[in-house]
Chains A and B, each alone.
Chain A
Amino acid sequence: MTTWEQNPPVKLPNEPAITPQIVAEHGLSPDEYQRVLKIMGREPTMVELGVFSAMWSEHCSYKSSKVWLKKLPTEAPWVIQGPGENAGVIDIGDGQAAIFKMESHNHPSYIEPYQGAATGVGGILRDVFTMGARPIANVNALRFGDPEHPKTRHLVGGVVAGIGGYGNCMGIPTVAGETSFHRAYNENCLVNAMTVGIARADRIFYAAAAGLGNPVVYVGSKTGRDGIHGATMASAEFTEDSESKRPTVQVGDPFVEKLLLEACLELMETDAIVAIQDMGAAGLTSSSFEMADKGGLGLEIALDKVPMRETGMNPYELMLSESQERMLMVLKPGREDEARRIFEKWELDFAVIGRLTDTRRMVLRWYGDVVASIPIPPVVTEAPVYERPWTATPLPPALDAATIAPPKDYADALLQLVGSPDQCSKAWIWRQYDHLIMGNTAIRPGGDAAVVRVPDGNGKALAITSDCTPRYCQAHPETGGRQAVAEAWRNLTAVGATPLACTDNMNFGNPQKPEIMGQFAGCTMGMAEACTTLAFPIVSGNVSLYNETQGRGILPTPVIGGVGVMKDVTRCVDIATREAGLVLVLIGETRGHLGQSIYLRDIQGREDGPPPPVDLTVEKRNGDFVRSQIQAGHVAACHDLSDGGLAIALAEMAMAGGTGLTIAIPEDAGCPVHAYLFGEDQGRYVMAVRPAVADAVLASAAAAKVPATRLGSSGGAALTVEGVLAISVADLRRTHEAWLPAYMEVRS
């Protein structure tokens, strides 16, 4: 028996009685509140209620998604740490580890695009450096509403500036991403940020607290009233009155985060840290519970010791604040001064705020009084988990390409596509991101995957990409989930890298609707299958639900962030065909699948049909072949085929290299010309092969039973499909580069 049980916690001045309304405002259902009462054995105080509300929010507890996430494969011999820590960790050789994760900041970015996106980047960076890694690359996956929607331009401008503003100041290159537009995101844009870092494989830092009596230390910025209820906000569907939730947006300070990064890495050079955890969503609450729970210990915190930015703050606010740029650490006993000196050198706050106990309770004190005392294990183990009802989306009936009209003019159609919002150059975006700092960027944004040399890594590099095709996921979630993983794997392969593992960001609508839950279930099953077959496990991830406004949900968007390794960075290739005389070889089988294609949507104005099937065995066979040819040095440029099919891929290669390409459609194509050019069959690549080895490459493809077609060659100043179209590379480029800057020029 500890004293708190005889003396229930002290109430705060003016503390309201807990009414059903207050419970509801904390996002807890009546059932969930009953659980709270059972765990506590009495009515909670407001501070305690706030803690439960944060810990049991969708964002922190994964209550709707947990049962499905368990189905994802998370292991491989090279996985050091799978999901469950701040970020995933994989072995990349030479005693080094890559640490990475993706995270969403969708709702905050919609409300305040600059700060929402900026603090999203700040949050994911902390997740990675809290584990001991120096971040080496940032990635951003963005989904916006219809370009014609009055808010879209403002969101694009703010989000891009915010991502750049934070990453640039931190000095971490932003090297890859994706950006697309669809009316389904009109009221719910998606901002997913990923960070990849490098650490010594034998010096990874974890969150599990250990050592009875050890000091618990707060470092970083002071705590203010920002983002109180942020965690619950991220889990609540938007309604008309979301305006009233506005003040919950946090402001980031990338300069302080840069100092925090350097200070943490400096302290990590010593052996003073026992455990470390960043304060992200639900701030001090989730970080302290996570540390204590993982270590099977209790924690006593003197909240009055927390560095505060404002006067008059109370324990409730301190526990729920989402002020940025803060960390919680457990130190070895007696190492406080050493740590303090480092943080003070970097002009950061440092405070010993508590101790580890063996009570397995979270005891919060305020100037001596106990204001909350919560048993830790049940908050975690008895957190609600829902097996929400779900209904599967049936596979739409097949669409015969022959029933879909060819374009009136092939050249016009291709120009229209390369200049469309989704297919146009995103250079306007990545030019605002410092993608060159650190001097390790071998392949810049604009190709398939970015390639970044690993510092002190014996010439090895990481390939990094993010991918998802939401319209496929909408049409058939399982295929869409499979495709997202396959495309990420393919993009890594296309630069010559060996895909190792991925992180995911599951963005969906309201999981309480069976069709939406069915999308989640379907995508997860598809992803699981693809990850297993491709030996590409998920090592970290994030779920963002309730991306829904007035009953309209977003397209299901399970974004995959993939990481692969190249032993020798000099072997990587990009998509640019820079020289004449290269032989263009199409790898994979072309059936002319037009269902859910970009051609169908953007040229024919139809969003129907099934997505292209993904045969994972074929995917792996084709990809392994392509990689082997790149690594052997036979390939000068390579591009996978995705949105817009062969025609778009060739156009992108020609534009990137500034050289023309000429191909002929094979006689035995087996499908109409427009299906051959724009079909989105999976598992395909175009390789630009060095002429001297072209025959040998085709012969080894045949030996490996990989379909390979000699399409034509590079040279001249135009992209030519014999008898079908000819467009100068200059015209392609002009069109490709025009849309986004012109659109953003009219800034609002």
Chain B
Amino acid sequence: MKSAVLVFPGTNRETDIAGAIERSAGIKPHMVWHGDSDLPKVDLIVVAGGFSYGDYLRCGAMAAHSPIMREVKARAEKGVPVLAVCNGFQIAAEIGLVPGVLMRNAHLQFVCSDVNLKVESSQSLFTHRYQAGQVIRVPVAHAEGNYFADDDTLKRLEDRGQVAFRYCDSTGDVTAGNPNGSIRNIAGVFNDTKTVLGMMPHPENATEALFGGTDGKPLFDALAAALV
């Protein structure tokens, strides 16, 4: 699997996710600086976590308008898979790669903690190594992960199985365990072709037993298996 991890000024989880990809795919991703003119031809594009441009106006707003994101959008429209985590999700939402927006956490604080996630669908190239309904434990670390979309959008998402993960408690109850106020406990969503996944939690920080557990690893294994 050839992959590219985008690096904006202020991105800070690129090494974490590159490590996770390498552990599953056995090959290091290309690290692509936002200012580099061309994005290499890859099987997977990753938009990593952090505080692009300081995230001072609105999370992801400034990175969303960078030339490289225009290119990412064009590739995604041609079907190239995109994994957008945390700040990546915020950027992807800003440019409409995935539906919805991410607002300030309801309690207004940054939250770093393990959360439980219910895998809503195993029918995607990102989640086929999980079972639908499975509860996994991975961390979140963000101040603006409060997912919001209007009712029509939500209905469409749910009808088409585009909700990838929901926050839940350890028993899988998706009315509990919400760390940020996200509507309907949504933690991650697909685009309508399920080739783009945007999610707030950090599966990359749950890929080694001693360092956060391994519940995030199947996601990278799944990509490595699907994108050979």
- A–B touching in complex (CB under 8 Å): yes
A contact set with B: CB distance below 8 Å:
161, 164-165, 168-171, 253-256, 258-259, 345-347, 430-442, 453, 569-570
Q: Which residues of chain B have C-beta atoms less than 8 A from A165's C-beta?
A: 110
Report which of B16, B111, B112 forms a contact with A438, defined as CB distance below 8 A. B16
B13 at the interface (CB under 8 A from A): yes
Q: Tell me which residues across on chain A come within 8 A of B53, comparing CB atoms.
A: 255
Chain B, residues 1-43, CB within 8 Å of chain A (1/0): the string is 0000000011011011001100000000000000100000000
Inter-chain contacts of A170 with B (CB < 8 A): 12
Inter-chain contacts of A439 with B (CB < 8 A) = 15-16, 19-20, 204-205, 207-208, 211-212
Tell me if B211 and A171 are in contact (CB < 8 A).
Answer: no
Q: What is the bound-complex CA distance between A434 and B20, given in angstroms?
A: 18
Chain B residue total in the interface (Cβ 8 A) = 31
Beta-carbon contact of B210 and A436 below 8 Å? no
How far is it, in angstroms, between the C-alpha of A537 and the C-alpha of B19 when the chains are bound? 35
Contact with A along B40-62 (1 / 0, CB 8 A): 00000000001101111000000
Q: Judging by beta carbons under 8 Å apart, are A436 and B19 in contact?
A: no
Could you say which residues of chain A place their CB within 8 Å of the CB of B222? none
Instruction: Answer yes or no: B137 CB below 8 A from chain A CBs.
Output: no
A434 near B110 with CB under 8 A, answer yes
Asked if B131 is an interface residue, CB under 8 A from chain A, the answer is no
Q: When the two chains form their complex, are residues B212 and A436 in contact, meaning their CB atoms are under 8 A apart? A: yes
Q: Decide if B111 touches A432 in the complex (CB within 8 Å).
A: yes
For A161, A169, A170, A345, the residue with the greatest tally of chain B CB atoms inside 10 Å of its CB is A169
Given A253-B54, A432-B109, A434-B110, answer yes or no on A258-B211 (Cβ-Cβ < 8 Å).
Answer: no
Given the interface pairs A255-B9, A259-B9, A442-B210, the reply to whether A437 lies near B110 with Cβ below 8 Å is no
Task: Give chain A residues whose Cβ lies under 8 Å from the Cβ of B55.
Answer: 169, 255
Partner of A453, one of B9, B12, B211: B211
Q: Which residues of B contact A161 (CB under 8 A)?
A: 109-110
Q: Which residues of B contact A (CB under 8 A)?
A: 9-10, 12-13, 15-16, 19-20, 35, 50-51, 53-56, 109-113, 139, 141, 143, 202, 204-205, 207-208, 210-212
Expressed in whole angstroms, the minimum distance between the Cβ of A464 and any Cβ of chain B is 16
**Nearest 10 pairs of A and B residues by beta carbon:** A171-B12, A255-B54, A434-B141, A169-B51, A439-B16, A434-B112, A432-B110, A436-B205, A164-B110, A436-B139
Rounded to whole Å, the gap between the CB of B118 and the closest CB of chain A is: 21
Contact of A435 among B9, B12, B112, B143 (CB under 8 A): B112
> For A256, what are the chain B residues with a Cβ–Cβ distance below 8 Å?
54
Bound form: Cα–Cα A437–B206 in Å: 11
* CB atoms of B141 and A168 under 8 A apart: yes
26 of the cross-chain contacts (CB-CB < 8 Å) are: A161-B109, A165-B110, A168-B110, A169-B12, A169-B54, A170-B12, A171-B13, A171-B50, A171-B51, A253-B54, A254-B54, A255-B9, A255-B53, A255-B54, A255-B55, A259-B9, A346-B9, A431-B113, A434-B112, A434-B141, A437-B16, A437-B141, A437-B205, A439-B15, A439-B16, A439-B204
The answer to whether A258 touches B10, judged by C-beta atoms less than 8 angstroms apart, is yes
Name the one of A254, A347, A441, A570 contacting B9, with C-beta atoms under 8 angstroms. Answer: A347
Using Cβ atoms and an 8 Å threshold, which residues of chain B touch A169?
10, 12, 51, 54-55
Q: Which of A258, A346, A433, A570 contacts B12 (CB 8 A)?
A: A258
* Complex Cα gap A431–B111 (Å): 5
Return the chain A residue nearest B111 by Cβ.
A431
Q: Which of B51, B112, B141, B204 has the most CB of A within 10 A?
A: B112
Residue ID in chain B nearest A445 by CB atoms: B112
| CB-based nearest B residue for A440 | B211
Contacts of A436 in B (CB 8 A): 112, 139, 141, 202, 205, 212
Give the residues in chain B near A431, CB-CB below 8 Å: 109, 111-113
Q: How far is the CB of B48 from chain A (nearest CB, A)?
A: 10
CA distance A333 to B97 in the complex (A): 49
User: Nearest Cβ distance between residue A496 and chain B, in whole angstroms?
Assistant: 13
The total number of A-B Cβ pairs within 8 Å is 85
Between B141, B207, B210, the greatest number of chain A beta carbons within 10 A of the residue's beta carbon is seen for: B210
Minimum Cβ distance to chain A for residue B179 (Å): 9
Chain A, Cβ-Cβ closest to B12: A171
CB-CB < 8 A to A168: which residues of B?
A: 51, 110, 112, 141, 143
Not counting A164-B110, A255-B10, a sample of 10 additional A-B residue pairs whose C-beta atoms are within 8 angstroms of each other reads A170-B12, A255-B9, A432-B112, A433-B110, A434-B112, A435-B112, A436-B202, A438-B15, A439-B19, A439-B20
A255 to B52, CA, bound (A): 8
| Distance, CA A168 to CA B141, complexed state (A) | 9
Closest chain B residue to A461 by CB distance?
Answer: B210
Contacts of A441 in B (CB 8 A): 211-212
Given the complex, which residues of A lie within 8 Å of B141, measured CB to CB? 168, 434, 436-437
Contact, CB under 8 Å: B210 / A570:
yes
Interchain nearest-CB distance for A121 vs B (Å)? 14
A463 vs B222: C-alpha distance when bound (angstroms)? 34
Residues of A close to B207: CB separation below 8 A: 439
A566 to chain B, nearest CB (A): 12
Give the residues in chain A near B211, CB-CB below 8 Å: 439-442, 453
Q: Compute how far the CA of A127 lies from the CA of B32 in the bound complex, rounded to whole angstroms.
A: 29
Residue contact A433 to B35, C-beta cutoff 8 Å: no
Complex: A347 Cα to B210 Cα, angstroms = 38
Q: How far is the CA of A255 from the CA of B204 in the complex (A)?
A: 23
The docked-state distance in angstroms from the alpha carbon of A435 to that of B109 is 15
* Nearest neighbor of B202 in chain A, beta-carbon distance: A436
Which of A253, A431, A433, A453 has the most chain B CB atoms closer than 10 A to its own CB? A431
Look across to chain B and name the residue whose beta carbon is closest to the beta carbon of A427.
Answer: B113
| Cβ contacts under 8 Å, A433 to chain B | 110, 112
Tell me the complex Cα distance, A128–B207, Å. 29
A165 nearest in chain B by CB position: B110
Q: How far, in whole Å, are A256 and B53 apart by their CA atoms in the complex?
A: 9
Residue in chain B with minimal CB distance to A741? B107
Q: Which of B13, B110, B208 has the most CB of A within 10 A?
A: B110
Contacts of B13 in A (CB 8 A): 171, 437
Q: Which residue of A lies closest to B56 (CB)?
A: A255
Complex CA distance for A118 and B145, rounded to whole angstroms? 22
Cα separation A256 to B139 with both chains bound (whole Å): 27
Instruction: Specify which chain B residues have a CB less than 8 angstroms from the CB of A254 in the assembled complex.
Output: 51, 54
Q: Are A569's CB and B54's CB within 8 A?
A: no
User: In whole angstroms, what is the CA distance A253 to B56 when docked?
Assistant: 10
A346, A434, A440, A441 pick with most chain B CB within 10 angstroms: A434
- Max chain A Cβ within 10 angstroms of own Cβ: one of B9, B16, B19: B9
Residue of chain A at shortest CB distance from B209:
A570
Which of A255, A453, A570 contacts B51, CB < 8 Å?
A255
With most chain A CB atoms within 10 A of its CB, the pick from B143, B202, B208 is: B143
| Alpha-carbon separation in the docked complex, A219 to B10 (Å) | 18
- Name the distance in Å between A437's Cβ and chain B's nearest Cβ: 6
B20 to chain A: which residues have CB within 8 Å? 439
CA distance A432 to B107 in the complex (A): 11
A255 to B110, CA, bound (A): 16
C-alpha spacing A436/B20, complex, angstroms: 14
Which residues of chain B have C-beta atoms less than 8 A from A258's C-beta? 9-10, 12, 51
Task: List the B side residues contacting A435 at CB < 8 Å.
Answer: 112
Cβ-neighbour of A437 out of B12, B35, B210 (below 8 A): B12
Residue of A with least CB distance to B14: A171
Interface centre among B19, B208, B211 (most CB of A within 10 A): B211
Chain B residues in 8 Å Cβ range of A440: 211
The residue of chain B having its C-beta at the shortest distance from the C-beta of A452 within the complex is B211
Nearest CB in chain A: distance from B33 CB, A: 8
In the complex, chain A residues whose CB is within 8 Å of the CB of B19: 439
Q: Which of A165, A259, A439 gathers the greatest number of chain B CB atoms within 10 Å?
A: A439
